[in-house]
Structures are given as structure tokens and as C-alpha cells.
Chain A
């Protein structure tokens, strides 16, 4: 009995969402981009954010690692917690936050440095690896986890910008996981890639779920259905509906979701 009790409690603790957003409002100057967003993101799951262009899904994604701080006119209100710590109002340094919450962008953006230096960038910044051997091991394991090791192991010194688009994007994923973050944010990571490279990335996302919490913004509903466990539908700055991916795509509760997934708008 006690044992069972403990187990359920542990399960409850595990079910405690990794990221909790409460009443998040975002403004760009005068215009409001996000309206009172309430969203829980579970650990070790892939959460997809879908919705038509300009609906605020990328804005929300960039709130989670405070990338919106860079934009001068942007103002964020509300509460976003990462494992219970308020990332905006608890004096948490955005630099430390971003070491825990990595990000992969829409367009592959490797640094104009060698493949090795691209991966080693984060570990060097945060002093994760002590010594050359450890750094090399970190680079290798990151590239292996991103499924890129076999393709680049003989040319780690050649520039990262010389890889193909899909390889560049996997390089960016490897770069992000090299600092061992807890969460990886992906902003339409496949929109600049061909179908084969896309399939590889999607496969990779599924593998990464084991160790990371992943939030992915995507335009493709097929992609959301393929890779995610939870899906959140944004429309005109509002979070319309969130739920299990299977359920959201088969029996949406909201008319607007229904309209979007059946292709009536967006």
C-alpha cells in the first residue's frame, strides 16, 4: 500500500510539467502578440506548436529562453516557470537559462568556423569540458547523438558552412545538445530542408525525446502529427486548444482548430 502510494506520488512528481506558462502576454510596441497564454509542457515529450503565420507560436517559443530580450520593443508579462523557477522574475540570468534551454532555428545557422569549433563553442563558453580530451569526447558524443558523426568524422576541421542544408541543421542540433540542456526549442527546423533531410531530423527528434524536453514550432501539420505527443494550436495570439496530438487531430474541440486542420484557413 505504502509502496503503491509512493509510486503514484513519484508518478505525479514525474508528471509535474517541465515548463508552466501562466497568463503570458507579449507586446511588440503597441500591438499585442500573445494574449494570456496558459500552457503546460511535459518533460521528455515533444510538444508541437501549430497555427497560421503570425499567430504568435514563434513568439511564445522565444519567450521560453528569453530570446525576445534581444528585441528592443518587445515586452513580456506573466509567469513562465522552468522546474518551478520563474524565468523572468527570479533574478535568473538569461545566459544561464539559455544554457539549460537550447534552441534550433528555422534557417540552419552554423558559425563560419570548423565543424569541431561549432560544436565546441558552447562547452568552451560554459567551461563544461575540462581539457582537450574531454572536449573532443563531448564533440564526438554530440555529433553521434545528432546522427552526424559518421558523415563528418573525417573532416571536423572543414567549415560547418560547407555542409548541406540538412547536415547544417543537424550540426546546429548537435551544437545545441553539446551543452547538455534540459529543453530544446525548435523553430520550424525543417522548413528550409528537403523531404529526405526532414525525415532524418524528425527521426532524430524522436530519439532526442528520451533525454530532452522538446518544443517544436511547425507549419506542417503532418510533421506535428508525426513527431509530437502534445499539440497546441495558436490563432491570432491566443492559445485555442491544447491536447494529445492524436486527439487534437482526430477530434478537435474548437471550431477554429477544426477549420485549421482541415485546411479551411491558414
Chain B
């Protein structure tokens, strides 16, 4: 609540800064013999940025580090007074202090020591909050006055504002990159721990997957085998089935949409097709598990085939339906961006519509279509919900689509669901699988982006 008040105070100061900065520029522009360098709003923005940006950055930094500092102070006090506590016990105690301070439930009785520690913690937090408020407001006011003072006809306000905005935009774009790097590192460390327990060669080339290990030392359990081959084989099988469904259907519908369909039909059908992409994958999962899989099983029985009730075929088909809109929509865009002049050229040569499509439009759009297919494929590989519900958990190494298979994503989910010991090979295996999957899809995305980029350079 108090933070919110401070935030609104800053917003008020920023708006005030804009008005004052602009006002000062207006006053200066009265002296017509010396024209201003920039247009008036830039002086307002210049003042507003100096008024807001430093204190907002300060607040962000303060809020990020202050709880850790407060914790460190509590724990250092504690370890000074109680030499015999282990570091784990201190952590627990500090947690109790923090919980008590925020009115939460704690794991021990409240005694005088704890109450005193909590009081000092609360006191420190308040002091620090007021300090932050004072520093932020004074920084803001300081920025306001110094920037107001610096406004003169010669101040290159526009250049400065644009420079700051470009820096801010650069910072925003770095966030995405940093996140990717962070994800990779979080996977890498756990994966390295996994490979301390299980050799890399077994993971990459082992043909058997059965991640059951003893949870406690006194428990009898499987020693666990971590061969990822059946999982990747299952993933590839399901992806293959889904591509067999999605590529022809998606491509045909894209060709129809971009070349044959009338304007009215297109305006009606294209959004409808794209709705398919908006259906939650869980719902597709229901559809696969409750409708498609039993249907395959029953029709398989009719022909005397032994179809498992959770089959790769059902999961792959439904996943294929799910990714149809990716392929059709992207391919449609690519085909639409083939210049009309090429169609005209082909028609003027006496080509029919189908000849024009197969001989001119598809070849010209092919790189883009390949890109679309690769993007859809990495989507299919990473898809989790449908396969969890419809493909099963049995890690069979098979190419028979009527059998149950399991995929990398399904195994990651099952390894991490429920109460797990976090340093067992079983749990860590999930991170190794995740990293490998990440590498596979990343490679495919890079290829797809390369192909699409090559296509973009083509005309103009």
C-alpha cells in the first residue's frame, strides 16, 4: 500500500516535470530572436525522464536487493548470538522471522527472542522503506530542478530524449535474450548433476527407459535405467504422424484460401481455421483420449487389429489437427506475398490457374512453406498436453503407430509431478531431457528462421 502511494507520488512528479519542462520551453520561446533547438514537447519529455527514470531505477534496485539484505542482517545477528546453530537451522529461523513479520503461520512457538528478532526485522524494513522513499523523491526533485535549469534554447532535447528512448528499447529487447540464456543455464546445472549420476552415453544411446529409483536408502527399488532413445523415438513417431496429417491438409487449405477461395469465403473461413490454434491443448487432449483413441481401438478391433487404447496414432492425429492452422495460415501468408506480377506473367503465357500455382507460386513460396512446416514441427515436438492424455506412459521402442508410446515431454511431466527428492537421478533426468529437447527444437527453429530469412531477400 505504501509502495503504491510512493509510486503515485512519482507519477505525479513525472507529469509535473513534463508540464514544467514544456512551460519553461514555452517561456523561452517567447524570445523569438533565439529559436529553440527542438520542438516543445521534447523539453517536457526531457524533464519528465530526468524526473522519473533515475528514481524508478533506484526503486527497482532497492526492492530487488533490500529483502536479501534484511535477511542477511537477521541471520548475522542470530549467528552472532547463537554460535552452535547450523546454517540450515539459521535459514529456518530467518524464515520464521519473515513469516511472523508478515503475519503468517510459523513452525515454532513465539518466544521473546523470536519476537525481538521479528521486531528488529520489521523496524529495519520500515527504516529502509522510508529511506528509499526519501531518496527516490529527492532524486526525482533533484532531477526535476537540474533539468529545468539546464533547459535553454541550445539544449538538444530531442536528441537526448531519442537517445534515452533507444537505450530503453535496447534494454527491453535484451530481456528476451537474457531469459533464454537464463533458461539454458538453469537446465545446464541440473543436467550436469544428472550426468554425475548417469553416464552421458547411457542417456544418449541407451535403449531402455525406466526411471524408477529408490526414494530412500532403505527402500527397495529399481536401480533405474535412463536411455532416452525410446522417448525420442516416441516423440519422432508422434511428430511424424502429426506432420503426415497437418502438412497435406494445411498446405491444401492454404492453396485454396490464397488462390481459389472468394473474398467472402476467405474472410469467413480464415478466422475460423485460426480458431483451431486458439483451442487449449488440454481440450485437444480430451478429444484425443475420449473420442479419437476409442474410435481407433474399436475400428481396429473390427479389422482384427490389436490397437492399444492409448495409441501413438490417436495422439499424432489430434496433434496434426492442432497444428493445421500454423501451416495453413503461415503458408497462406507466404503465398499471398508472391507478387501479383508473377501470376500475371504466368497467365499471360497461357498458363492455367493450376499450372500457375504448381509451377510459379509454390516454387516461389517454397522456402516460406518449409519455414512454416519446420516451425509447426518444433511446436509438435514440444507439445505436452495431448500426448500426456492420449499417448500413454509406456516407453516402448516401436515404430508401430497402434501401440502406446511415450514422449520426452510426457516423461518430464511425470518425473516432476508429485513429491520428489530433488537430487535423485530420477528428478534430474527431467532436466537432462528438457535440455536435449530444447537443443533439438532450437536447432529446428534456427533452420526455420534461416530458411524464412532467405526467402525474404528474394524479391526486391
The complex places the Cα of A126 from the Cα of B351 at a distance, in Å, of 8
Q: Is the CB of B459 within 8 A of A67?
A: no
* A105 surroundings in chain B (CB, below 8 A): 341, 344-345, 348
B149 proximal to A (CB < 8 A): no
Q: Is the CB of B350 within 8 A of A175?
A: no
Q: Is the CB of B364 within 8 A of A161?
A: no
Most A CB contacts (10 A, CB to CB) among B339, B344, B349, B459 go to: B349
0/1 interface trace, chain A 84-103, chain B, CB 8 Å (1 if under): 00000000000111110011
Q: Is the CB of B459 within 8 A of A161?
A: yes
Chain A interface residue count: which class?
20 to 34
Chain B interface residue count: which class?
20 to 34
The complex places the Cα of A179 from the Cα of B346 at a distance, in Å, of 12
Given A112-B364, A121-B359, A98 and B339 contact (CB-CB distance below 8 Å): no
Q: How far is the CB of A242 from chain B (nearest CB, A)?
A: 25
0/1 interface trace, chain B 318-359, chain A, CB 8 Å (1 if under): 000000000000000000000101111111111110010001
* A257 surroundings in chain B (CB, below 8 A): none
Q: How far is the CB of A45 from chain B (nearest CB, A)?
A: 21
* A99 surroundings in chain B (CB, below 8 A): 349-350
Chain B: which residue is nearest A103 at the CB level?
Answer: B348
B458 proximal to A (CB < 8 A): yes
Q: Which of B350, B363, B364 contacts A126 (CB 8 A)?
A: B350
A176 proximal to B (CB < 8 A): yes
B415 proximal to A (CB < 8 A): no
* A70 surroundings in chain B (CB, below 8 A): 343-344, 347
* B349 surroundings in chain A (CB, below 8 A): 98-99, 102, 121-122, 125, 175-176, 179
Given A109-B344, A111-B345, A121-B359, A95 and B352 contact (CB-CB distance below 8 Å): yes
The complex places the Cα of A97 from the Cα of B360 at a distance, in Å, of 20
Q: How far is the CB of B456 from chain A (nearest CB, A)?
A: 13
Q: How far is the CB of B96 from chain A (nearest CB, A)?
A: 70
Q: How far is the CB of B116 from chain A (nearest CB, A)?
A: 79
A113 proximal to B (CB < 8 A): yes
The complex places the Cα of A110 from the Cα of B363 at a distance, in Å, of 14
Q: Is the CB of A98 within 8 A of B350?
A: yes
B46-102, CB < 8 A from A = none
The complex places the Cα of A97 from the Cα of B352 at a distance, in Å, of 12
Q: How far is the CB of B369 from chain A (nearest CB, A)?
A: 14
0/1 interface trace, chain B 187-209, chain A, CB 8 Å (1 if under): 00000000000000000000000
Q: Which of B263, B342, B352, B355 contacts A111 (CB 8 A)?
A: B342
Most B CB contacts (10 A, CB to CB) among A95, A99, A126, A175 go to: A95
Q: How far is the CB of A209 from chain B (nearest CB, A)?
A: 20
Q: How far is the CB of A235 from chain B (nearest CB, A)?
A: 26
* B364 surroundings in chain A (CB, below 8 A): 111-112
* A110 surroundings in chain B (CB, below 8 A): 345
Q: Is the CB of A109 within 8 A of B351?
A: no
Q: Is the interface of A mostly helix, strand, loop or mixed?
A: helix
Q: Is the CB of B355 within 8 A of A65?
A: no
Q: Which of A72, A109, A125 contacts B339 (CB 8 A)?
A: A109
A190-209, CB < 8 A from B = none
* A125 surroundings in chain B (CB, below 8 A): 349-351, 355, 359
0/1 interface trace, chain A 109-140, chain B, CB 8 Å (1 if under): 11111000000011001100000000000000
Q: Is the CB of A113 within 8 A of B350?
A: no
Q: Is the CB of A102 within 8 A of B348?
A: yes
The complex places the Cα of A130 from the Cα of B404 at a distance, in Å, of 54
Q: Is the CB of B348 within 8 A of A67?
A: yes
A44-103, CB < 8 A from B = 65, 67, 70, 72, 95-99, 102-103
* A224 surroundings in chain B (CB, below 8 A): none
Q: How far is the CB of B261 from chain A (nearest CB, A)?
A: 12
Q: Is the CB of A113 within 8 A of B347?
A: no
Q: How far is the CB of B402 from chain A (nearest CB, A)?
A: 44
The complex places the Cα of A67 from the Cα of B352 at a distance, in Å, of 12
Q: Is the CB of A109 within 8 A of B347?
A: no
0/1 interface trace, chain B 244-267, chain A, CB 8 Å (1 if under): 000000000000000000010000
A107 proximal to B (CB < 8 A): yes
A37 proximal to B (CB < 8 A): no
* B343 surroundings in chain A (CB, below 8 A): 70
Q: Is the CB of B341 within 8 A of A107?
A: yes
Q: Which residues of A contact B (CB under 8 A)?
A: 65, 67, 70, 72, 95-99, 102-103, 105, 107, 109-113, 121-122, 125-126, 161, 172, 175-176, 179
A-B contact pairs, 18 of them (CB 8 A): A95-B352, A97-B350, A98-B347, A99-B350, A105-B345, A109-B341, A109-B345, A111-B345, A111-B346, A111-B360, A112-B363, A112-B458, A121-B349, A125-B349, A125-B359, A176-B349, A179-B349, A179-B350
11 new A-B contacts, CB < 8 A, other than A70-B343, A125-B349, are: A72-B263, A96-B350, A103-B348, A109-B345, A111-B360, A112-B342, A125-B351, A161-B459, A175-B345, A176-B348, A179-B350
